[in-house]
Structure 1
Amino acid sequence: MPRPTNKKYCFLLICLVHFFGTSQQNKLDSLKNEIQTHTLKDTIRAGLLIELASEMTYSEPNEGFAFIEEAIAISKKNRWIKGEALAQRQKGNLYYVAADNLNALEAYQKALVLSRKTPNKQLESSVLSNLGNIHADLKEYDRALENYRAYLETSQAMGNRSEEIKALSNIAIIYNDTENFDEGISYLNKALTLAKDEENDLFIAAITNNLALAYKNLGEYQKALFHYQEALAMARKIGNKYIEASALNSIGKINVLLKNYTVAETNASKALSLSKAIGAMEWEADSWEVLSKVYEQNGKMTEALNAYKEHIQLRDSVLNEEKKSELTRKEMQFQMERQQAVANEEIKRQELVKNIYLIGAILLVLLAIFGYYIYKRRRDGLEKKKIAEFNAKVSETELKALRSQMNPHFIFNSLNSISDFISKNDIQQADDYLIKFSRLTRAILENSEKKSITLNEDLELMELYMQLEAIRLENKLHHQITIDQDIEPNNTLVPPLILQPFIENSIWHGIAPKNGDGHIDIKIEKEGDMLKYVVDDNGVGQPKKNMREKKSNGSFGIKITKSRIDILSHIKNKKGTVNLMDKPEGVRVEITLPLELQF
C-alpha cells in the first residue's frame, strides 16, 4: 500500500503554540486593532505581534513575517529571552507552511538555544517537536518519534491539554507514514477525543483530515471520504485555507479511485485555485495530478499531458534532494556547535577552579595545568572523531542526492514524444509510452532514498528505459543482457541506474546517427570481490580519438556516475573503475564496483 511522500498531514507536524492560547479567525481584526493602539515598543506589543503572526499562519502566512520580525527586534531590545524564543519558533512555523524547510530549521534552532536559557520546559519540548517535524520530512522517523514522545510526556506532566493533543497527533502521523495504521488511528482517536473536549475546531479539522488519510491508505474509501468531508466543512467554518485545500485534493483523489471523475475534477479545480492563492506548492502539485488522471479518463490526452507536466515540475521543486542534503548538514553542524559550547563552558569552569587553587600553592597549579592538558588532548580526539563522522554523513547524503537525479532532457524529451504521438492521433502509442514512462519515473523516485537495490531490480529499470528509447528510435535499437552464472541477481546489491548514462551515450552518440539497426550488449561478470559491467555498442563511434575522449569525459551524467563510484569506493574501501575504449565500430565501456551481497 503506498504511503504519503510529502507533508500531507495538515495537523501541524508544525505544532503551533500560541502565546496567549489558540484563537479563532475572528481574532485577527481585534489583534490588529490592539497593535495599532499599543504603539510602545515593549513586551506587551511583542506578545501581540507573535499572537497575530500565529493566527495568520494558515490564512495569510506571507503577511506574518513582517510582524514576527518586529517582535524579534522588540524582544532583543528588551532582553526578553522567552519572547525572542517564541518569535523565532513562530518564524519557523511560517517558513514551514511555505515549504521552506531550510529557513524553518534555522529559526527552530535559534528558538531551541533561547528556550534553554529559560526555565520553561514546555517551551523547550515544543521546539524539539518542531525539529521533530524536520526529522519526519527527512524520513528519520526514530529521531522524530523520540522528540514527539518527549513533547508528549512534558505536556501530560504539566497538564497542558492542547500541547498533549498536538503531541498525540504527531506521533500518529509517524505511525501512519510508516504504515502502522492501527497504532496511528488509535493515537488520532485519542487526540480527537481531547480536541472535542476542548472544543478546538482547528485541532478537530486537522485531526479529522489525518484520520481520513489513514483510512484511505487502508483502502476504506467510504470512511475516508466521510472524514474528508467533515474536515472540509470544519476548515471552511474556521477559515483555514490550508486544511481546506488538502481536504479538497483528497476528496478528488478518492473520487478518482471510485471513478466519479466529474466530482473529482470539481474538487481538484477548487483545490488548485485555493492552493495558488495561499502559495501551497505541494497542494497545487496534487491538484494537477488529480486533473491529469481525470483528463486521461475522459480522453482529453493533451490536457492530461499538460496537467502531468505541471504536476512533475511542482513536485520536483518540493522534493529537491539537494535542499534535503543541505538541511541534514546544517542540523549536524548545529549539533556540533552545541556540543562545542558545552565543552567551552566546562573549560571556563576548570579555568576558574585553577585560578582559585593558584592562590593556595604552586604544586596545585602544576597539577591543574597537567589535568587541563590531559583533558584538552581527550577533547581534541573527540572533536576529530565527530568531524570524521560528520564528513561520512555528508558523503552519504550527497550520494543520495546524486542517485535521485534524473536526466531532465530525458524527461522532457519523453513528454514531447508523448505529445507528438497525441498530435499524430496515435493515442494507443501515446498511452503505451506514457504508462512505461510513468512506471520508470515512479520506480526512480521510489529508489531515490535507497543506497542500493538488487541487480535484478536495476536491470528491470534499464530494460524499461531502453524500451522507451527504442520506441523513440522507431525500433532500430536492439539489446542483449548476459549475466554470469556465478552471480545471483536477486542477492547482489548495486547502486540504482549506475549504467544509465553510458547506455544513453551509446544510444544517442553511437546508434542514433547510425544507418541501419544498432545493438547494445550488456554483460555482468564477477571478478573476485568486484562486480564488472561491460557495455558494448556497434554505433558509429568517433574516428578522432581526442574528440571522443573530450565528449565522453564531458558528459554530465558520466561525470556524476564517476563521482558516485568514487564515493562508493571510499565507503567500501575498494577501488572501482570506469574505462571507455574505442573500437573499429562502436564503443566499449567497462565498469567495476565493489561486490555487495544482500544476504
Structure 2
Amino acid sequence: MKRILSICFLLFFSGILFCSAQNKATSQPVFLLKGKVVNAADYSPISKVNIEITGKGYTTTNNAGEFVIEARIGDELVVRSDDFKTVYYIIKDQQKITVEVEKVENEAAPISTRSRSANKDFFRVYIDSANYFLKKDAKRSIEYVTKALESVTGKNPTNLQNAVAFETLGDINLQWQLPDLALSNYKQSVNFSPNINTRIKLAKAYMRNGNYQESIQEYKNLLKADLTPYQQVEAYEGLGDNYKATNDAVKSVFNYQKGLDIANQKKISPKITDLNSKIGEAYAKGGAIEEAQTYFENSLTLSKSENKKRAVEEKNKVADFYNQKRDFDREIELRQETLDEIQSMDAEESEDDINSPLTPQRQNYKIANAYVAQDKYQEAIPFLEKSIAEADKKEDLVVQKDATRKLSEIYRDIGDYGKAAESYERYVEVVDELYIKKEQELSQATRFSKEIALRQNRITSLENERKLNESRYKLAFENQELIEKNNKIQKWIIGSLIVIALLLLFTAYTQRKNVQQQKFANNLLALKSLRTQMNPHFIFNALNSVNSFIASNDERAANKYLSEFSQLMRSVLENSEEDFIPLSKEIELLELYVKLEHFRFKDKFDYEVTVDESINVDDFVIPPMLLQPYVENAVWHGLRYKEDKGMLKINFQQKDKETVIITIEDDGIGRKKSKELKTENQKKQKSKGMGNIQKRISILNEMYKDKVDVIVEDAFENEAGTLVRLTLKKD
C-alpha cells in the first residue's frame, strides 16, 4: 500500500513540475513591441527588414524603418536583412527599441588559379564529382569544387566556370542546412553569370535563411524575366511558400493557385500534386477547412500516380490535416495505410532520416495519439509499445521519449500505477540520454560549420595564389630564349607523335571497317541460309495438305489445291533470293496462303484480311515469308483443334508515316492448351518455322537497327486464342 501511495505522489509531483514548466513560458503578458532599425553610420532608417520573434511572429519595417510586433519579455527578437549581419536581441522590457546595424558591401572578386597543364575538361569532371558527393560528404564535395577551379588552364577561370563553381558550393551548403553560406555562394554565382535557375536557388536560400522580403522580391523580379513554364511554376510556388511562412494565407493561396493554373495548362504533373497539397496546407492554416479538404483530396489522388514515396508523404500530410480537423477515424485509416506502405518500401525508397515523419515509430505514435484523443486508451497502448520498440531499435530518442511519456500517462489515467511508474522511470532515462545526445549534436554542428567555412576559405585564397603566379610568369619571360629552343625540339617530337597517332588511328579505323563489313556479309549469308531452310519447310507443310486430299479420294479438291499451290510456289520462288520485298507482294502471298489453308479447313475457321487504306504498301518493305509461319501456327496449332468454328483476323494498320502495325489474331485453343495436346515426340521437336523466324528477326534487327519487332501473347484473359503483333519500320 505504501509503495502505491509513493508512486502516486511521484506522478503527482512530476505532473506539477511539468505543468509549471509549460506555463512558465506563457506567464509573461503579451504586449506590442515597437522599434526601429537604423544605419549605425548615419542613423538613416532601413526599410523591408525581416523582424521575427523566434517561433512566434513575423513582420517587416516600413519606409521609416519602424516596426510593431507582438512579444513577451524574454522572447528572442531576430533582425535579419541581406544588407547586414543578423542581429539577435533578448527583450527585457516593454520600452521601444532602436536597433543599429552596420551595412556591408558584398563584392564578388573573380577567382583565379595557377596555370597547370591539365585538360580543360577536368573542370567539369571535378564539378561532377562534387555533385556526386553533395549529399554524402560535404567536405569532400567542397574539395572537388576547389580542385575544379585549380584545374583550369590559364590565368583565370571564365565567368561561366566561376558561376558553376559557386552555384555548386551553394547547393552543398543548402543541402547541409547552412543557408547563410549558400546565400553568399549563390550571389557570387549570379554576379558571374545571371542564370535563371541559380536565381531561383538564391530566392530559396533567402527564404531558408529567414530573409522573406528579399526572397519575395527576388521571385517577383524573376517573374519579369523570360521563364520556361516550369520556372514560372517554381517562382509562384516560392512566393506562396514565403507568404505561408509569414502567415499571409490569402497571398499564399493566390500565388499557389497561379502556379497550379500554369502546371495544369502545361501538364507538369509533379507540380500539380505539390501545389494542390500546398494550397490545402495554406487553407488549413487559415482555418478554411472545407476548402483545404478539397485540395488535400486532389493531392492524395494525384500522388497515387507518382512514385510510392511521394504517395506516402502525401498520405501523412493529409492525415495531419484530419488530425487538425479532429476526424480521428479517417486519420487512423490513412496512417495505417502509410505504415503498411512504409514497411513495403524498398531500401532505396525508405527514409533513413529518423527526423522524417515517414518512419514506423512516428506513425505508430501518431496513431496512438489519435486513439488517445478519442479516449480509446486500450487501443492506443499497442501502438505506443510498437513505437517505443521501433524508436529504440533505430535510436530515435525524441519519439522514444514522447511515446514513453504518453504510455506512462495512459497507465496513470486507467489506474495501472505500477506500469505508469515503470514507464515514467524509463521516460526519465530517455530524457537524460536525449539531453546528452543533443549536446553532442550541437557541438558537432558547430565544428561542422567551422570546418565547412575553413574549406571554403581555400577557394577565396586562390586569388592570392594568382598574384604569386604572376610574378613567376615574369621570371619565365626572362628565360624566353631558352624556352623557344626547347619549344622547337618539343614541336618536332609532338609532330612525330601526331603522325604516329594518325597512322594508328587510320589502321584502327580500317580494321574496324573490315570487321563491320565481314560481319554484315556473315549476316547476309545467315539470312540466305535461313530463307533456304524456310522454303523446304513451307513446301513440306503444303504437300501434307495435298496428301490429305488425295488420301480422302477427293481428286477435284486436290487438283484445285495443286493449282492454287503452284501459283503460291511461283511467288515464293520468285522472292526467295530477295532480302526484302514490297509489303504489297507479302500481302498477296499471305492472302493466297490463307486461302489454301481455308480450302482445306473450311469447317474449322473463317478469315478476314484488312489493310488500312492510308498505308502505301509499296513504300514499306518486308523480308519474304516473314508472316506465313505465324499464320500457319494459328491454323495448325490453334484453330484446327477448336471444337466450334473459329476466326482468323489479319490486320495491317498504319501507326505513323514510318511504322506499320501487323496483327495476326485467332480465337483458337491458345498456346497453353496446344502445348498440352502435343505428343511426347512433338514436344522433343522444336518448331522449325518459328525458330527460323526468330533468328531472321534477330539478324535483321542487328543489321537494320530494330526494323522489326514481334510480340506474341494470349488474345484473351482465359489463355484462349493467340495474338501476334508485328511492328514494321520503313527505314
Q: Same fold (TM over 0.5)?
A: no
TM-score, normalisation: structure 2:
0.29
| Higher relative contact order, structure no. (Cα contacts within 8 Å, ≥ 6 residues apart) | 1
Larger Rg: 2
